[in-house]
Structure 1
């Protein structure tokens, strides 16, 4: 896998280098062509045109050529001089010519002066004719130079092709070493990335930290975040699985006890010697145990539906103060809690909520019953209703024994029993169901508690 990535990267680099070379050659040819075209429009060509057109300023009087005033002005403007020759090459007329200019030219001299710069640097000589006369115009222009170049076509092609081949070979070698170097730099983090993903697949969440992630920094950051999140979920899953196993164990034990009672008392009912009073007592025990088992199964089904959001809410408008007041009264009317100290406070008497009244009663009753059942009989419990920031706030406060921080963190977990619930009957789902009911209504619930200083349940909707 490592070499596959490296080879692919090298092929990419070498392809790019090769394309760059081809493009460079095309650009070079294009520039040369453009330069050759440009040279046809430079000052040199302008001076050639000036020389050919200058014949219009030459006139002949008594077989002697002369330059008129307009021509002289142009010569001055172009920083130029002129020599007019007869058919024998003898200078018959001259204007502004340098002192070293000859007075007679052989044909070879004219060619020599035209091809090469024979005068001071910057002066170029051009040749033209008018009737039977020839003339030389020398123009001083440092930007113009004339060079003679001898070329052998076959030799140029051979040399050029040879050097182009050398350049391509050298460039490919450079590309190979550059590709190996940069490929190693860029692909090394990829190997770590692949190993990290493999570790996550194998549920190993302690990933290797990369010292120089380079351009992959964001990728490794995301991998670390994913690893942390997966580790957290894995721990929560193990914790939930442990709780579920414990709950199944407890629920199995709780089911066995009433089933054993039901079976035992059913056998006693078949005994002919059992009196009617005893028979009635046995039937009541069987009924009570059956009700407990039904409640256990109902709670299990309810918590599963709430967990999967498959429980439809029967929403109605409810005056929340009346709901809470009736709830407190019903609890105090229970013979078990007749002597309990429960107080009700409200500052939102007309507040109306759209809720499932039955489920909301069950949720709040659960928190209130917990405050009464898990605390001494003289515990003071307060149910308070207020409106804070346009949200309903329901608080259930007590000054009982309180809970440890571990219990507070886990009290809403399904199948969890707190350290202060030993030998207390129940399915272990009540608090989780109450929390899910509040959430299903778009609310939230939190618990604050400290051992020895009581507990406060806060419900916000």
Structure 2
């Protein structure tokens, strides 16, 4: 852009100079024609017009008229008549020791360069009778003729050129500023609109600032998309907070109710009832504790505040134990969960607690959001020094819309009506895996199940 601006500035200067030069030529031509057409007499015109004052008689004698002599005396000039060989045959008002002969070279110089001698300006003329003559006028007298004319011409020329320069540079400056300043004003206006949250305006991507306008349009598009996503996230978060509040309120109500029963002396509770109510209170407390821990972990992951306490772990044994624990869970003991590994010892350095939470979240997600007859298969292998973990199920699957939002914070799928939780499980799992330098990918199709691919 800097080069384009420089080239345009240079072009403006060149055009201005060309216009001024053309204007100067036209003005000089006009002034020259004006002076040539007026009656002002110069040494050249004086010598040329003097031909009318020289006559030849029938006897061959050359005569200078009285008017011619008077004009020469008035200008303090003089004249010499020459023959064909350049010798002076006659003169009038000549100075002391005048030249008596002129060489062809001297006469030629007089023709080409008027005033070639120091004190006089010479002009050569010839009559119709081929009488050649030389008229000489002192330079002082000639200055009186020419200076007045040149002074007037210079005044007119300078004034005209100054006036034209003001017009030309003002016009070119206006055009240049319009081409430069007008787009800048649009850019500033566009930035102000973007800062005010107006992302609807689109600019034509042309001219010197084509790339700038393209960037503005791109930025407006991204901000508009970001604003839409922000509004979606905001609504989703508000809904999530409402759900979390409800989910927290339910166990709290249970804890509060059974605590009131246990603490009320009017109730005569048996030992079994006390144990039962206490177990319910403990289970609800653990549920709330897990949810709060999940919220705390999510906050740390959001602000990159998580610290990984990495240790070498045999992932084969590690994940196998997780699968066994889930299979022994009272709520999932009747579910079909299979585990298979090509290698008995796949070592990986990780934070055991965080990795366990991530893997558990993924497996529980496959169990919770599918029917009880859904089969879940977990397999492990090593390919090119990468550890691959696959979690497959033949359950309900997900739509493209659900798949796009699967790892979004605060998102709960459409098939989670009977499930209570923070909705952060998949998001936490993804961020934990990525924090360990891994990758996670999910492929799903409605009615055919889901396939989670992890590479560590």
On whether the aligned pair clears a TM of 0.5, the verdict is yes
1:110 and 2:102 are equivalent in the alignment? yes
The residue aligned with 1:215 is 208
Are the equivalent residues in 2 in contact too, given 1:363–1:437 (CA < 8 A)? yes
By how many angstroms is 1:155 displaced?
4.7
Are the equivalent residues in 2 in contact too, given 1:446–1:458 (CA < 8 A)? yes
1:296 and 2:288 are equivalent in the alignment? no
Deviates more, 1:320-329 or 1:435-444: 320-329
By how many angstroms is 1:20 displaced?
6.8
**Which runs of no fewer than 5 residues in structure 1 stay unpaired?**
1-11, 25-99, 128-147
**Partners in 2 of 1:284 and 1:327 — Cα distance?**
24
Alignment: residue pair count = 347
Q: 1:255 aligns with which of 239, 248, 256?
A: 248
Equivalent positions of 1:167-206 (< 5 A) are: 167-206=161-200
Matched position secondary structure for 2:331:
helix
By how many angstroms is 1:427 displaced?
1.9
Equivalent positions of 1:348-427 (< 5 A) are: 348-427=343-422
Matched position secondary structure for 1:223:
helix
Q: 2:231 aligns with which of 224, 234, 238?
A: 238
RMSD of equivalent CA atoms: 3.4
Matched position secondary structure for 2:217:
helix
**Partners in 2 of 1:108 and 1:358 — Cα distance?**
129
Deviations 1:344-394 (A, max 9, x none): 233354432221122111101111111122222222211122334543221
Deviates more, 1:242-251 or 1:174-183: 174-183
Deviations 1:16-69 (A, max 9, x none): 79x979x99xxxxxxxxxxxxxxxxxxxxxxxxxxxxxxxxxxxxxxxxxxxxx
Alpha carbons of structure 1 residues 161 and 317: separation in structure 2 relative to 1, 3 Å? farther
**Partners in 1 of 2:268 and 2:330 — Cα distance?**
31
**Partners in 1 of 2:416 and 2:427 — Cα distance?**
15
Matched position secondary structure for 2:412:
coil
The residue aligned with 1:278 is 273
Are the equivalent residues in 1 in contact too, given 2:86–2:104 (CA < 8 A)? no
**Partners in 1 of 2:100 and 2:208 — Cα distance?**
72
Matched position secondary structure for 2:321:
helix
Matched position secondary structure for 1:416:
coil
Deviations 1:263-301 (A, max 9, x none): 211211123332232222222222222222211211111
Are the equivalent residues in 1 in contact too, given 2:312–2:350 (CA < 8 A)? yes
**Which runs of no fewer than 5 residues in structure 2 stay unpaired?**
1-8, 22-82, 90-98, 118-136
Alpha carbons of structure 1 residues 348 and 204: separation in structure 2 relative to 1, 3 Å? farther
By how many angstroms is 1:101 displaced?
8.4
By how many angstroms is 1:311 displaced?
1.1
1:165 and 2:159 are equivalent in the alignment? yes
Q: If the length of structure 2 is used for normalisation, what is the TM-score?
A: 0.68
**Partners in 2 of 1:331 and 1:216 — Cα distance?**
62
**Partners in 2 of 1:334 and 1:101 — Cα distance?**
141
The residue aligned with 1:228 is 221
1:308 and 2:291 are equivalent in the alignment? no
By how many angstroms is 1:415 displaced?
1.4
**Partners in 2 of 1:279 and 1:335 — Cα distance?**
22
**Partners in 1 of 2:249 and 2:330 — Cα distance?**
29
Q: If the length of structure 1 is used for normalisation, what is the TM-score?
A: 0.67
By how many angstroms is 1:405 displaced?
1.5
Are the equivalent residues in 1 in contact too, given 2:310–2:351 (CA < 8 A)? yes
Alpha carbons of structure 1 residues 280 and 330: separation in structure 2 relative to 1, 3 Å? closer
Q: 1:327 aligns with which of 322, 329, 344?
A: 322
Are the equivalent residues in 2 in contact too, given 1:403–1:420 (CA < 8 A)? no
By how many angstroms is 1:108 displaced?
4.9
Matched position secondary structure for 2:203:
coil
Deviations 1:230-268 (A, max 9, x none): 112212211111111111111111121122112211211
Are the equivalent residues in 2 in contact too, given 1:268–1:274 (CA < 8 A)? no
